Amino acid sequence: MNKRANSEFSIIVKKERAKRADDLIIAKAEKAERKYELIIANEEKTEHAAMLIIAKAEKAKFQAESVIANAERVKRHAGLIISNAEKAKKANGTISTNKEQAAAIVIANVKITKQVAELLIANVENAKRAAALIILNKKPTSELFIAEAEQAKREAMLLIASIKDAKRSSELIISNIEKVKGAAEFVISDKEAVYQNAQKAKRAAELIVASVVRAKRAADLVIANVVKAKRAAELVIANKELNLAKVKAKLASELITLNKELLHQIDKRKESDQNLKESKEKFHSYIEHSPVGVFVVDKTGKYYDCNPAAYEIVGYTREELLSMSIIDLLPADEIEKGLQGFDQLCKLGYLKVETKLLRKDKSTIYVILEAVKLPENNMFMSFTTDIQKIKVAEIELRKKFEEVESINKTLGETNVELIIAKEKAVESARLKSAFLANMSHEIRTPMNGILGFASLLKEPKLSGEEQQEYIHIIEKSGARMLNIIDDIVCVSKIESGIMETNFSETNINEQTEYVYNLLKLDAARKKLTITFKNGLPDNESIVNTDKEKFISILSNLVKNAIKYTDIGSVEFGYILKNNNKTSNFFNLEFYVKDTGIGVPNDMQEAIFERFIQVDITDKMARYGAGLGLAISRAYVAVLGGRIWVESKKGKGSIFYFTIPYNIGSKLKHIIEDEVSSINENITE
């Protein structure tokens, strides 16, 4: 499906490239058209300038014709002057001669002025023809031609200025002729002033000559300007023709290239359109028959198109779906996530997400949605796969997996418990073996002593001292056996919960001294130093506790200290201690310190269990049943305290236990008596 979609996208991209190529050709054509329009605009400007030059040339021609007419009139006046002079010839020959000369000069000046005017008219005609030629060639191609046209315009303006100068010169000549005419008439009317008038006529003639010279110079300048204008016009025409030929060739070449590209693009577009049409038909057929739901949405999220699989997934008809947007198909708890995903699609152009869709019947369905941005029209296409069954199976599988995990966890815990139980059973079996070995040893030893020495008492020759010694050993062995039996009975009572307590007023100092006296001989046999320290005076050491259990606890701890100490000392005692500074609750904290073998860290809790000794093994163990510390811990708990040990292997141990400092009634009476005595003293 993705390959077909990629093929379709590739065709669409090719179509877009072909469209861009067509747009480029059109842009080039429009550029050429604008260039041609600019040339036409320049031609129109040039034509307007040429028309202006022609108008000014026509005006100059008219002025030149006016000059010729004035010259003709001057010529006629000069002829009249000559005629009058012929008449006056008879009166004065000298005057006539001068007058004829002056008239001849005037006529010559008039002819020169007429020739200059005719030359001006010819130049104007040439300028007019040049301007007309410029108008006929309406395709100037560059700013150089426009500049040359401006130069020709300026030359024409200079020509017009020259014509105006010639006109002014002609008017000056006419004015001089009038002056000569007046002078001649004055000569005729006043013969006496002939000489003076002749001088004036001479000066007038000189002035006319100067004016003619200036007019000649102006005419030469006009002729030079006309020649320059003609050359400029010829150069403009030549440049215009050359540039026009270049432009025509360039435009023709560009037009041919554009036509070829256009034909090629048209062929490619036809082929692309045909391929696109076929591909669209195939793609549309694939989409219509695809089992994957295909949605097409615009940039606002509104549905634009869909295939049958798409509207079957959500349960709507195609018409209903095309009137909806993406929010309409999202459950309330998925709207925020869906809008974030659509924003991501708009920014990145791709999205893949697992989500839920809201069906027409308000049920939800799990789908995998893959969406891409189409390369045109801001459209987005999504491929939606129904994974409802897979998701349900996954949920069921997850539940089964969780159940299996729970069972495995339970089994694991059970296995751990079984392993612990097994280890305990193994340890218990080992302890029982050691206990049985110890018990058999502990029971057999005093029993052998009792039976052995009892048989020795049958000897007839025993002295009284020997008999008493044997009886003492039998009593001691019996007492030892009785202690073992008592310990076993105590453990049984503790485990069965029928242990009894008997609280009474007990003097702690007396009991510590009793334990010391009881066990000092055992310490002396091992050459150990034994001491004790009481933390309270005798009158304050009376507490309410179970005396027998207290003596059992303290004697067990001291016996163990002596038993596990080979060299050194044993010390025991107690202190009064307030563990809670905010209350008046006090404890008596007892300690038994030795320099014996010590207790390893990993056994400092285990030694308070039954049948466990620090160095217990099946082969070698110190005498004892391993019940003393277990019984002591139970007794301490009954008395309301706790027991613990601090020790390092090979460096001795310190056993601690506490009992509440509950003062007895005797101590209460003593305290009350002392309080009463204090009160009486205060009263007195």
Q: What is the pLDDT of residues 421-449, one digit of tens each?
A: 888 778 767 766 666 666 666 677 777 77
Q: Where does the pLDDT of residue 523 fall: very low under 50, low under 70, confident under 90, or very high at 90 and above?
A: very high
Give me the chain's average pLDDT, please: 75
Does 476 share its domain with 504? Answer: no
- Report CA torsion sign: 87, 92, 94, 99: negative
Q: Where are the alpha helices (DSSP H) in 290-387?
A: 308-314, 318-322, 335-348
Burial 508-523 (b: 16+ CB within 10 A, else e): bbebbeebbeebbeeb
- Please indicate, yes or no, whether residues 75 and 223 belong to a single structural domain of this protein: yes
d(CA 77, CA 82): 9
Buried b (16+ CB within 10 A) or exposed e, 528-537: bebebeebbe
Give first-to-last CA distance, the chain, whole Å: 115
- pLDDT tens digits for range 17-76: 767 766 777 777 677 667 667 766 776 676 676 677 667 667 766 766 776 676 677 667
Interval 106-159: pLDDT, tens? 566 656 656 656 666 666 566 667 656 655 554 444 444 456 556 655 755 665
Residue 397, in any domain of the structure: no
Which residues lie closer than 8 Å to 447 by C-beta, 6 or more apart?
Answer: 477, 481
d(CA 452, CA 478): 13
Q: Distance between CA 244 and CA 136 in Å, rounded?
A: 13
Number of helices (H), then strands (E), belonging to the chain: the values are: 13, 12
Residue at which a domain ends, from 497, 521, 554: 497
Number of domains in the chain: 4
Indicate the pLDDT class of residue 509, thresholds 50, 70 and 90. very high
Same domain, 477 and 528: no
Domain span holding position 584:
500-683
Answer with the residue of higher pLDDT: 62 or 643: 643
Do 504 and 652 fall into the same domain? yes
Cα–Cα distance measured from residue 39 to residue 91, given in angstroms and rounded to the nearest whole number: 76
Task: Please report the pLDDT score of residue 312 as a whole number.
Answer: 85
Q: Residue 366 maps to which CATH number?
A: 3.30.450.20
Same domain, 138 and 90: yes
Whether the pTM exceeds 0.95: the reply is no
Q: Is 675 helix (H, G, I), strand (E, B) or coil?
A: helix
Tell me: pLDDT of 236 over 60. Answer: yes
CATH number at residue 477: 1.10.287.130
pLDDT tens-digit series, residues 570-588: 999 999 987 665 556 789 9
Q: How far are the Cα atoms of 187, 245, 301, 637, 666 from residue 544, in angstroms, in the given order?
A: 186, 138, 87, 15, 10
Q: Which of 459, 474, 497 is the last residue of a domain?
A: 497
In a shared domain, residues 75 and 147: yes
